[in-house]
Amino acid sequence: KLLVYANHSYILRIVDVHYERKPFKELMGTPITLTCKTMYVYKWCRHMEVGWHQNGSVGLTDPSRYLTTVNETISEDSRLRQVTTKILSLISEDNGDFQCIAKCENGEQARGHFIEVVVKGRIIFSQDLRTSLVVFTVNVSSKLLLFG
């Protein structure tokens, strides 16, 4: 649904989701940050749930794996909510598509585009932590070993 304000020069949906179209290709064990901005009309939406989801359904809510912060600002009839979720340490199960989903109390919702996350290799540390080994899978039958 769209709301048109005659005394303003903009059209605002009841709820809208925006974020950068940027895929992630990172090493296992590294953190990444997903940021989503949602603009909504408070009088039509009231209570708003916004969050990042993996592969269309799984919400990122486990506090041992994710850190989520929410900031909200009010501007006339609308509100801008920014939701930032940090994946603290990538694991192989993080491979997939991530999407920000916003749902209003009245049933209105908006979804952003999918962002692909590719988790590469794994880092193996030696006991003295001065040398480490990064393992990258090249194909099913062989592995490329790099020393760093």
Q: Could you please report the per-residue DSSP string of the chain?
A: -EEE-TTSS-EEESEEEE-----EEEETT--EEEEEEEEEEHHHH-SEEEEEEETTTEE---TTTEEEEEEEEEETTEEEEEEEEEESS--GGG-EEEEEEEEETTS-EEE---EEEEEE-EEEE-TTSSSEEEEEE-SSS-EEEEE-
pLDDT recorded at residue 11: 54
* Residue range 104-144, pLDDT digits in tens: 998 999 999 999 999 998 666 656 555 555 554 433 333 33
Q: Is residue 85 part of a domain?
A: yes
Q: Is residue 138 part of a domain?
A: no
Q: Is residue 81 part of a domain?
A: yes
Which residues form the domain of 20? Answer: 2-121
pLDDT recorded at residue 18: 93
The total of structural domains in the chain comes to: 1
User: What CATH number does residue 51 fall under?
Assistant: 2.60.40.10
Structure tokens at 12: 């605002």
pLDDT recorded at residue 40: 93
Q: Is residue 128 part of a domain?
A: no
Q: Is residue 15 part of a domain?
A: yes
Q: Is residue 131 part of a domain?
A: no
pLDDT recorded at residue 12: 59
